[in-house]
A and B are shown apart, each in its own frame.
Chain A
Amino acid sequence: MMEEDKEVKPSLSVHGHNIKVTEVLRDGDTLTFLIVSQKLSGTGEYHVHRTHSDFEWLQQHLFSQEDVPGIQGVIFPPLPAKVQMNASAKVMKQLGFLGLGEWQLYCKALETFLQQVASHTILSPNRAVEIFLTSTDPPGRQRVKKNIFNRLSQAVEEMRKEGHKDVDEFFQTERDHNLALSGYTRTAAERFLDVVLTEQKIAVACGHFSAALHLCVEHGEDPEKQAFSKTCVKLSEVFDCMKKNMTNVAEKDANSLGLGLDLRSRCLDAEKEMLFRRTCKLVELENATRNAEKAKPLKKAAMEEVKKAAETEFNHISGVAKDEIVRFQRERVKMLQQALVQWCEKQLHTAKETAEQFDQHLQAFRGMA
């Protein structure tokens, strides 16, 4: 790893933390994202258009860095699931927060993904990252359909290894912890999504009510009528204000804590995958060790060879994984804390704003009476 780092010193020509996904363009069924990154060399920015397939290409390349020892111990930054236009409600629901709004949240998630990749010490040196971020032309569209990271196969084949007892107490604890945490986080994210969705519904209902109130306005000279109409209009304004505030709240909820929970949930999944890969390796190593012990002298050497290779790889993975987990735990707490603080501040801000507006309306009404 250290060697790698040194080798790839001129790893990226852009600032990892300044990568932005600024725009999303709809092109038929596919979405094209505009990625802007600042050059390390000083002035100037790279502007590249990428589709989700390009992101997938990047991820595949990162996965398949066979030359990097212990690559499987890396917690790969999670790439948001592919979205399709006109996707069914169910698919959108699976997207969770990312399906909200006009893809801004999705862009945010992609942005986070790129930033994580670009600032990752093991991943950023990859050529693919540089190409992805700087090349004007879309990267090669060749698909690496099959690989060991195929989730489906993993699910089917390796599920039984999930419960495999770990040899290392640290990893065993981390695995258990991860299992619990990811479950809870996902639930929390879902619940929070419900809250946000309901807030949006309320906003819509307020809007309807506000609009309907305008229907009650009667025109005429009759002062009584005018007074009532005025009341209706005023109330309509109040509800319009409520609608705006509620929309605001929902948006900020989704933007801060929603996104945070979502990211955390996906990161935990990524960690789980990594841990799982390591467990697989562990199983492989154990098998190899057993085989080597049982092996007849004729094959013993070969078996030992296999065992050794597996052991080396496993140790690599474990080493990388340990670092990754420590880093991840730090980051995970920071991530959620940021989200919480942001969320709280926004809530506070909106509430204050709303209260002020209500107060104004209230005064107006009192003035009328």
Chain B
Amino acid sequence: MATSSERSPPPFPESEDQDVLDSEEVGGRDSDEDDGEDLFTSASEPPHTSMDPLLSPDIQSGQVSTKPPADENDPLIEPLTGQTGSKPVSELVSEPSDDFVDLTNNITDSPEDLTEAKSAVAAEAGDSTEFRVDEPTDEFEDIFGSETEELGGEVVIADVTVEAAADKSEVTSGSTDDSGEEKSGSDAEQEAKETPTATVIDLSADLSAAETKLPPGSEKIFDPLGDLFSDAPPAAGAKKTSTTTVDLSDDEGSDLFTQPLQTKPAKQPQRSLFEEPDEDLFGEPLGAASKKTVGKEQKDKSETTKAARAGSNVGGPLHENKPVEPTDIFTEEAVATAPSTRNTAKPKTNGVLSEEEPDIFAEATVELSLDSPRNERKTDVTAKPSAAPGPSVAPGPSASVSAPVSASAAKSLSKPQSAALEELEEESEEQVDKFDIQVSVKDPEKIGDGMTAYMAYKVTTETSLLMFRNQTFSVKRRFSDFLGLYEKLSEKHAPNGFIVPPPPEKSILGMTKVKVGKEDSSSADFVERRRGALERYLQRVVTHPSLLQDPDVREFLEREDLPRAVSTQALSGAGFLKMITKATDAVSKMTIKMNESDVWFEEKLQEVEAADQHFRKLHALVESLVVHRKELSLHTASFAKSTAMLGSAEDNTALSRALSQLAEVEDKIEQLHQDQAANDTFRFAELIADYIRLLGAVRGSFDHRMKSWQRWQDAQAALQKKREVEAKLLWANKPDKLQLAKEEIVEWEGKVTQYERDFERVSATVRKEVIRFEKEKTKNFKQQIIQYLECLLKSQQQLIKYWEAFLPEAKAIA
């Protein structure tokens, strides 16, 4: 949802809620179907002509009326293949569910991809089209036909793009104006675009549905699916091309998303997704596509990796489902000439497919029958939404991932990776133990002598995640490496509103003691505390779905020799704390200026600050408790000693023996007290210290949100100024300068939108992160408390044993 909100900040700020998004998505799909139907209906006739042989007859009548979207997709795909010479179609086919995304992606890359795709698709299209014809609904065919026809009439690529744009605009409805403006070039084109986009969307949806359904169904289904896929890719390609063309024309390059979709339309669809089910589907795919493209452009590593993962995951399920037609996936890949586009598209598509697949398996398998593609599709669609949120189906994770990815992609044009990660996180949260990864920090070891000495730790990772090369591996890391990792992560993710778990502070005092080589208990205690803190820090990083995806994290865990972190010196000790306080100060200062639009954030910030205070107090209390416990253990030890002395001086043998027994008991009890002190320390004191640090990070994320807001406000102010200048120039009648001013205004308008979107995105991320943080907090505390109680219980039982052993001794004194 964050993504959607980000994208659509101006028009639909409300759409931020993730939950809403999920529901909306479902609804959106339905709506998409409807839109698709309309589009299809409008377009349907022409496609029929193209598609006619196979699909048209059966599908047309039924499909249109019942469930145009599903049908439409299929038909669309088919027509596309047929029409465009199957270039775009093939691409579309490959990424049915994600078609939109792909399309957008493709669009960006489109020209090249399309051509390639077309060629590739064309080959496949022939086969696929036939199959598809049977499976896909008539409507799809019609739509495709119409689209294809249109395309055929005009330049294929151009038409497609136009159509796609038009569709988008239509879908968004409100956005049409923007799109119109952007595409001001030709109204006719816009209209055309509208229909195509809608169709495309439908197609994609349908395709995905069809695909998903198909796998469970039967080999036949597979074939059709394959066909669909093949068809779809072309369609996608076509769409892509269209979008790309649009983008090219409208956008200046960097703003691919906004431009291709026509900023407004794109935003609207996303929002609509969240808000309105019907529009949502279309909007989402579009947005996703745009996002993906953006991401590609930005060349986010994480995205690619994610995509790869998603792809692999998806690929697994897909293959299983549709063994007959591995071609689908392959086709997609093959079709997409541009690797970057492919990657992005793949993950998304994969995700979509996977989502659909689960649904299909569950519900649609039986329904797959060719006759009622609409029904199936509908069910699929409905099922999909439900399935997507729930990881229940095996492919679920990937599917869910894909869905969030698309959303995230839409949100964060600039930072698609993070958005995708977020989505991943969300999904992962539901599957609690999805992250099967355990990181342990062990064997602290002093390396070197004197003041250049440092502690090295063995970081061992155990995981079943495929992203890692091995299941278990370990590396040597020194403390500054941990800090370096944090530096990198916070630099990358903190500005997006992520809560990056902070590592323990540098402690000059503690480390100096260790360096000097005093083997006393306090330095051992220090090392152990730090080791534990580092372990918990890493574990937090690794269980954070977004951060786990970060290449730096993987490098940290896997790479044998890490380049030495240099800049951590500045972070040492008090400096780190100071930084946090500074950040919080800045926040409080800015709060005064910021007139908070969202009550939630206001309340949360207060809560966080209150919690910070409480935790600090708790920490002080636990620390004093620990001090007392240690004292008790010391005193018990000396009491044991004096008891032993007393026993040795006692002339009554029974009493003397009892006393020395008592001394032994007291010695054991001393150990118990010591353990209890450690228990207090590590279960509570350290936990609370962690959370104090984490709360600092939470405040930091609020701070980043504030900064983002500030930037937006500044941009608005600047825009206002430019407008005033323009008015003045108008008054002064200086046309040459006026032109410049107008350009500037346009530029600043773009910036304002951009910043506002950024702000919305960051806000959504922060919100999500805070919720996650709180969830984790509760879980963490509960867990620790249980362990703590277990410890307490054990020590009490031990105590009972000791006393029971001693009682007869005491009684034996006579």
Contact = CB atoms under 8 A, between A and B. Distances in A.
Q: Do A and B belong to a common assembly?
A: yes
Contacts of B782: 231, 365, 368-369
B618 interface: yes
Interface in A163-201: 177, 180-181, 184-185, 187-188, 190-192, 194-195, 198-199, 201
Given A348-B804, A351-B796, A369-B786, A228 B614 contact: no
Interface in B615-663: 615, 617-618, 621-622, 624-625, 628-629, 631-632, 635-636, 638-639, 641-643, 645-646, 649-652, 654-655, 658, 662
Contact of B796 (A195, A213, A354): A354
Contact of A212 (B621, B658, B775): B621
Interface stretch (A7-15, A94-102, A290-298, A334-342): A334-342
A181 B649 contact: yes
B593 interface: no
Q: Which secondary structure dominates where chain A touches chain B? A: helix
B646 A184 contact: yes
A188 B646 contact: yes
B803 interface: yes
Interface stretch (A49-57, A67-75, A356-364): A356-364
Nearest to A177: B651
Contacts of B629: 202
A340 B803 contact: no
A191 B642 contact: yes
A347 interface: yes
Contacts of A199: 632
A232 B774 CA distance: 13
Contacts of B775: 224
B813 interface: yes
Nearest to A213: B618
Nearest to A336: B655
Contacts of B625: 202, 205-206, 209
Contacts of A348: 800, 803-804, 807
A191 to B, nearest CB: 4
A184 B622 contact: no
A201 B677 CA distance: 14
B614 A215 contact: yes
A369 B811 CA distance: 45
B638 A194 contact: yes
Contacts of B790: 362
A225 B654 CA distance: 59
Interface in B784-814: 785-786, 789-790, 792-793, 796-797, 799-800, 803-804, 806-807, 810-811, 813-814
Nearest to A366: B786
A40 interface: no
B793 A355 contact: yes
Contact of A358 (B614, B796, B810): B796
Contacts of A365: 782, 785-786, 789
A225 B773 CA distance: 11
A266 B316 CA distance: 84
A208 interface: yes
A238 B785 contact: yes
B611 interface: yes
A362 B799 contact: no
B161 to A, nearest CB: 46
Nearest to A359: B793
B735 to A, nearest CB: 58
A344 B771 CA distance: 50
A345 interface: yes
Most chain B CB neighbours (cut-off 10 Å) among A185, A205, A344: A344
B781 A231 contact: yes
A280 to B, nearest CB: 25
Given A341-B810, A362-B789, A365-B786, A212 B614 contact: yes
A369 B781 CA distance: 11
Given A227-B778, A351-B799, A198 B631 contact: yes
A218 interface: yes
Contacts of A242: 792
Contacts of A369: 782-783, 786
Interface in A75-92: none
Contacts of A177: 649, 651
Contact of B793 (A194, A202, A358, A368): A358
Nearest to B796: A355
A262 to B, nearest CB: 14
Interface string A206-231: 10110011011010000011011001
Interface residues of A, number: 58
Contact of B618 (A216, A231, A366): A216
Contact of A192 (B614, B639, B789): B639
Contacts of B615: 216
Contacts of B796: 351, 354-355, 358
A209 B618 contact: yes
Interface in B38-59: none
A195 B641 CA distance: 13
B582 interface: no
A205 B629 CA distance: 10
Nearest to A192: B639
B743 interface: no
Given A192-B639, A224-B771, A355 B807 contact: no
A359 B615 CA distance: 26
B793 A340 contact: no
Given A205-B621, A205-B625, A358-B789, A344 B643 contact: no
A302 interface: no
A256 B545 CA distance: 58
Nearest to B792: A358
B628 A201 contact: yes
Interface string B574-618: 000000000000000000000000000000000100010011011
Contacts of B807: 341, 344-345, 348
Contacts of A345: 807
B256 to A, nearest CB: 38
A100 to B, nearest CB: 15
B301 interface: no
B777 interface: yes
A362 B793 contact: yes
A1 interface: no
A218 B607 contact: yes
A199 B634 CA distance: 12
A194 to B, nearest CB: 4
A184 B785 contact: no
Nearest to A210: B621
B621 A209 contact: yes
Contact of A224 (B618, B635, B774, B804): B774
Given A187-B645, A198-B635, 4 more contacts: A205-B625, A228-B781, A333-B655, A352-B800
27 contacts: A181-B650, A184-B646, A195-B636, A198-B631, A202-B628, A205-B624, A205-B628, A206-B625, A208-B621, A209-B618, A209-B622, A212-B617, A212-B618, A213-B618, A216-B611, A224-B775, A224-B778, A333-B654, A333-B655, A333-B813, A340-B658, A340-B662, A344-B810, A345-B807, A351-B796, A351-B803, A365-B785
The 7 A-B pairs of least Cβ separation, nearest first, read A355-B796, A191-B639, A337-B813, A205-B625, A194-B635, A340-B810, A188-B642
Interface of B: 607, 611, 614-615, 617-618, 621-622, 624-625, 628-629, 631-632, 635-636, 638-639, 641-643, 645-646, 649-652, 654-655, 658, 662, 771, 774-775, 777-778, 781-783, 785-786, 789-790, 792-793, 796-797, 799-800, 803-804, 806-807, 810-811, 813-814
Interface of A: 177, 180-181, 184-185, 187-188, 190-192, 194-195, 198-199, 201-202, 205-206, 208-209, 212-213, 215-216, 218, 224-225, 227-228, 231-232, 234-235, 238, 242, 329, 333, 336-337, 340-341, 343-345, 347-348, 351-352, 354-355, 358-359, 361-362, 365-366, 368-369
